[in-house]
Amino acid sequence: MSVSRRKILGTGLASLTGAAALLVVGMLAVILFDVVRGGIGRVSWEFLTAAPEDGMTAGGIFPAIYGTAILTLVMTVAVMPVGVLTAIYLHEYAPKASRLAAAVRSAVTNLAGVPSIVFGLFGLGFFIQFVGGGLDRAFSPPGELRYGQPALLWAALTLAVLTLPVVIVSTEEALRAVPRDLRDASLALGATKSQTLARVVLPGALPGILTGAILAVARGAGEVAPILFTGVAYFLPDLPGSPFSQFMHLGYHTYVLATQSPDVEATRPLLYATVLVLLALTFALNLVAIAIRTRTRRRAAAGH
Amino acid sequence: MRRRQLRERTIEAAITLVALTGIAAVVLIFVFVAKEAIPLFTDPEVREEVDLARMFLPQVYREGRPPGFLWQPVGSVPKYSMIPLLVGTLKVTAVAMLVAAPLGVAAAVFTSEFAPRRLKEILKPTIELLAGIPSVVLGFFALMVMASWLQAAFGFTFRLNAVVAGLGLALTVVPVVFTVSEDALAAVPRSYREASLALGATRWETAFKVVLPAAAPGVLAAVVLGFGRSIGETMIVLMASGNAAITSWSLGDSVRTLPATIAAEMGEVVFGGAHYSVLFFLGVVLFAFTFVLNALAAAFVRRFVRKVTGAAA
C-alpha cells in the first residue's frame, strides 16, 4: 500500500471510531434535551409536594417520590452491611487461592447478570410466598394474609439482592485503594486484624464505600421490573404506613402514564415532568458517585 | 491473650458466613423460580392445559388448518407456544446487537487509542452516565420519541415494532459493551503499542492490527455481556415493542419478548395455575440463558488475562 493510501485509510478509520463515540454522546444529549424540554415547564414546588388528582391528569407526584425514597432507604439498610462484609471477606480475610472466595466471586458476577425481571419472580416466589406465607402460617389468624402479599419490605429486599454486586464491587475497589503500609503499621503497633479493619482500613475506604451506596441507590431507584409483582401500586390514597403496605414509585408511575393512559395528550406534560424528576434524581446520584470515585482514584494513584 | 484470639476467630467466622449470602442468593433465585415451574412437569391439572410438547412443537389449533404457533394464554382454550416469544426476543436482540456491538467497540477504540487524554477523561464517564439512565426512562424515550422518528423515516405499518424496541435496547447495551471493551483495550500492555510503532506501523495500524486483536477475548466478553443484558432487559421492550406475539421474521411487525411477557402477564394470573407455572418457566429459561452467557464471558476474560499477563512476563 502506498504511503498516502495508508494515511487516508487510517484517518478514515480513526474518524469512524470518533464518529461512533460522538453518536453515543449525541444520543445521551438528545435524551436529556428532550426530557428537560418536555418536563421543565411542569415541574414546580406544587408538583413535587402534591398528590395526583383527576385520574393522574392533574396534581403532583409526591406519593411516588416518597415511595421511591422509602423503598431505596430500606433497600440500602439491607444491602450495605451484607455487601461491605462480603467485600471485607473477599479482600481482607480470604486466603489467596481460596476456593470459597472464588465461588463467592463467581456467584456475585452471575448475580449481576441475572435479568431484573427474574429478580421480580424471585421476590414473588421467595419473599412473598415462602417467607411472607410462612410468617402468615405462623402468626396470622387462619385465612388472613398479613405478610404473604406484595409489600414495601419485600420489594426493598428484592432490590437489595439485585444491588448486592454493585456494593461488593465498589467496596472491594475502595479496600484495594487503602495502602498496605497503613495496615502493616497498625498491626505492628499491636492492633488485632479486626481492630485494624475497624479503625484504619474502613475509615480509609469510606469514600469508596459511600460511592457503592450511592450507585446502589441510583440503580435501585430506577429499577421497575423487580418491583412489579412485589409491592408497587399505581395509585394509593395514603402514603405507606408500615413495611407491609404497598407503595407508589416514580419509575412505575412513568411506565403506567406512558403505556396505559386513556388520554395521552392530557397526561403527556405530567409524564415528561415525572421522567424529569426521576432522571434528575438518578443522574445527580450518579454524578456524585463518579466525582467521589475520580477523587479517590486520583488519591490512590498518588499514594502508591 | 486467648480471649483476644477467640474474638478474632469469631469475627472472621461471622464475616465468612455473611459472604456466603452471594452464593445463597444465586442458588435461591434458581430454586425458587424453578420451584414454581415444576407443576408443568408434575401437576396433572396443569399438564392437561399445557406441557413442553405444546410449548415448542407446532400445534393444530383448529380442525383442517395447518399447524402453527400461538401464544394466547387467556381464552377458553389457552395456547402457550413459546416460539413467537423466542422469535420476538431473537429479533429485538439481533437489532440491538447489530447496532450496539460495533458502536460500543468503535467508541471504545476511539477512547482508548485515539482520543487525547483530556477528551478521554470526559468521554468515559459521559458514556458511563448513559448506563445510569433507568431503563424505564429509555423505554419512555423509545416509545414517545424514537418510535415517531423511525415511523416517519421508514414508514412502518406498526408504530411499535422490533426495530424501535431493538434500538431502544441498544441504548442500554452500548454502555456495557463500551465499558468492558475499553477496560480490555486499556489493559493491553504499552509494550505492544511501542513495538508496533517502532516497527513503522501507523497509529491506526497499531490500534486495529495489534491492540484490538490482543484485546479480542476481552472485547468478545463485552459483546457477550451486552447480549445477555439485551435478552433480559424488560421495561424498554415492554414499552416499545407493541407486545404482539406474532411469529414472523419481519422487523416491522410488533413483537413480544420473554421478559416483557412475564412482566405484562404475571399481574393477572391465577396463583398456581398453568399460566402462572408457564411464566415461571419463562423465567427459568431467561435465567439459564444469562447464566450460560455470563459463564462464557467469564471464560473469555480469563483467557484475556492469561494472554496479556503471560505476554508481559
Query: Could you give the CA distance from residue A177 to residue A6 in angstroms, rounded to a whole number?
Result: 44
Closest partner residue to A117 (CB to CB) among B127, B134, B259 is B259
Tell me if chain B has a CB within 8 Å of the CB of A255: yes
- Chain A residues in contact with B235 by the CB 8 A cut-off are 224-225, 251, 255
- Closest chain B C-alpha to A20 CA, distance in angstroms: 5
Average pLDDT over residues B175-183: 94
- Chain B residues in contact with A274 by the CB 8 A cut-off are none
- Chain A residues in contact with B133 by the CB 8 A cut-off are 28, 31, 222, 279, 282-283
Average pLDDT over residues A157-163: 96
Give the dihedral sign, CA A241/A245/A246/A251: positive
CB within 8 Å: B259 and A115 = yes
- Closest chain A C-alpha to B16 CA, distance in angstroms: 6
Query: Could you give the CA distance from residue A83 to residue A166 in angstroms, rounded to a whole number?
Result: 8
Q: CA-CA distances (angstroms) from residue A302 to A178, A209, A295, A296, B186? A: 12, 20, 11, 10, 19
Q: Are strands B71-72 and A52-53 parallel, antiparallel or unpaired?
A: unpaired
Task: Specify which residues A58 forms β-bridges with.
Answer: A53
How many helical (H) and strand (E) elements, i.e. helices and strands, does chain B have? 17, 2
Query: Could you give the CA distance from residue A185 to residue A195 in angstroms, rounded to a whole number?
Result: 12
Closest partner residue to B4 (CB to CB) among A17, A192, A222 is A192
- Chain B residues in contact with A86 by the CB 8 A cut-off are 18-19, 21-22
Pick from A117, A124, A260 the residue to mutate for testing the B interface (most B CBs within 10 Å).
A117
What share of chain B has pLDDT > 70, as a percent? 98
Beta strands in chain B (DSSP E): 71-72, 79-80
Give the dihedral sign, CA B98/B99/B101/B107: positive
Closest partner residue to A258 (CB to CB) among B16, B109, B140 is B140
- Chain B residues in contact with A222 by the CB 8 A cut-off are 133-137
Q: Are strands B71-72 and A58-59 parallel, antiparallel or unpaired?
A: unpaired
Model confidence at A1: pLDDT above 80:
no
The number of beta carbons lying within 10 Å of the beta carbon of residue A73 is 13
A267 vs B105, which has greater pLDDT? B105
pLDDT of the residue at B69 = 80
B202-217: pLDDT as tens digits? 888 899 999 999 999 9
Average pLDDT over residues B26-47: 90
Q: If you ran DSSP here, which 8-state letter would residue B267 be given?
A: G
pLDDT of the residue at B313 = 43
State the SS3 of A158-224: HHHHHHHHHHHHHHHHHHHCCCHHHHHHHHHCCCCHHHHHHHHHHHHHHHHHHHHHHHHHHHHHHCC
Amino acid letter, B113:
E
Helices (H), B190-273: 190-198, 203-205, 212-214, 216-232, 235-240, 258-265
A216-235: pLDDT as tens digits? 999 999 999 999 999 898 88
Name the residue of chain A whose CA is nearest to B122's CA.
A25
- Chain B residues in contact with A107 by the CB 8 A cut-off are 22-23, 25-26
Query: Could you give the CA distance from residue B234 to residue A287 in angstroms, rounded to a whole number?
Result: 25
What share of chain B has pLDDT > 90, as a percent? 57
In degrees, rounded to 5, the angle at the alpha carbon of residue B138 between the alpha carbons of residues B134 and B140 is 110
Three-state DSSP class for residue A247? strand
B65-82: pLDDT as tens digits? 777 788 888 777 788 888
- Chain B residues in contact with A290 by the CB 8 A cut-off are 125, 128-129
Q: CA-CA distances (angstroms) from residue B192 to B107, B185, B311? A: 21, 11, 10
Task: Specify which residues A53 forms β-bridges with.
Answer: A58
Average pLDDT over residues A257-281: 88
A182 grid coordinates = 497503613
CB within 8 Å: A222 and B205 = no
Contacts of B203 (CB under 8 A, 6+ apart): A10, A14, B113, B114, B197
pLDDT of the residue at B169 = 95
Contact (Cβ atoms closer than 8 angstroms) between residue B230 and residue B169 = yes
Contacts of B202 (CB under 8 A, 6+ apart): A6, A7, A10
pLDDT of the residue at A303 = 58
Give the dihedral sign, CA B218/B220/B221/B223: positive
Name the residue of chain B whose CA is nearest to A167's CA.
B22
Tell me if chain B has a CB within 8 Å of the CB of A61: no
The number of beta carbons lying within 10 Å of the beta carbon of residue B36 is 22
CB within 8 Å: B207 and A14 = yes
Average pLDDT over residues B240-246: 82
pLDDT of the residue at B1 = 65
Q: How many CA atoms lie within 13 A of B140 on its CB side?
A: 33
Confidence of residue A304 (pLDDT cuts 50, 70, 90): low
B146 grid coordinates = 424514537
B58 grid coordinates = 407446532
- Chain B residues in contact with A285 by the CB 8 A cut-off are 132
Q: CA-CA distances (angstroms) from residue B178 to B58, B303, B309? A: 40, 19, 22
A70-112: pLDDT as tens digits? 999 999 999 999 999 999 999 999 988 889 999 999 999 999 9
Q: CA-CA distances (angstroms) from residue A130 to A37, B33, B202? A: 46, 12, 62
| End-to-end Cα, chain B, rounded Å | 44
Residues 48-87 of B with CB under 8 A from A: none
Of B109, B136, B128, B135, which Cα lies nearest the Cα of B218?
Answer: B109
CB within 8 Å: B205 and A86 = no
Rg value, chain A, Cα:
24
Query: Could you give the CA distance from residue B49 to residue B28 in angstroms, rounded to a whole number?
Result: 28
Q: Quote the pTM value.
A: 0.91
Per the prediction, chain A carries an average pLDDT of 90
Contacts of B71 (CB under 8 A, 6+ apart): B79, B80, B81, B82, B84, B85, B245, B256, B261
Closest partner residue to B22 (CB to CB) among A24, A111, A229 is A111
Query: Could you give the CA distance from residue A230 to residue A246 in angstroms, rounded to a whole number?
Result: 9
The number of beta carbons lying within 10 Å of the beta carbon of residue B157 is 10
Residues 281-310 of B with CB under 8 A from A: 283, 286-287, 290-291, 293-295, 298
- Chain B residues in contact with A121 by the CB 8 A cut-off are 32-33, 36, 262, 266, 279-280, 283
- Closest chain B C-alpha to A259 CA, distance in angstroms: 7
Tell me if chain A has a CB within 8 Å of the CB of B3: no
Query: Could you give the CA distance from residue B254 to residue B201 in angstroms, rounded to a whole number?
Result: 49
- Chain A residues in contact with B202 by the CB 8 A cut-off are 6-7, 10
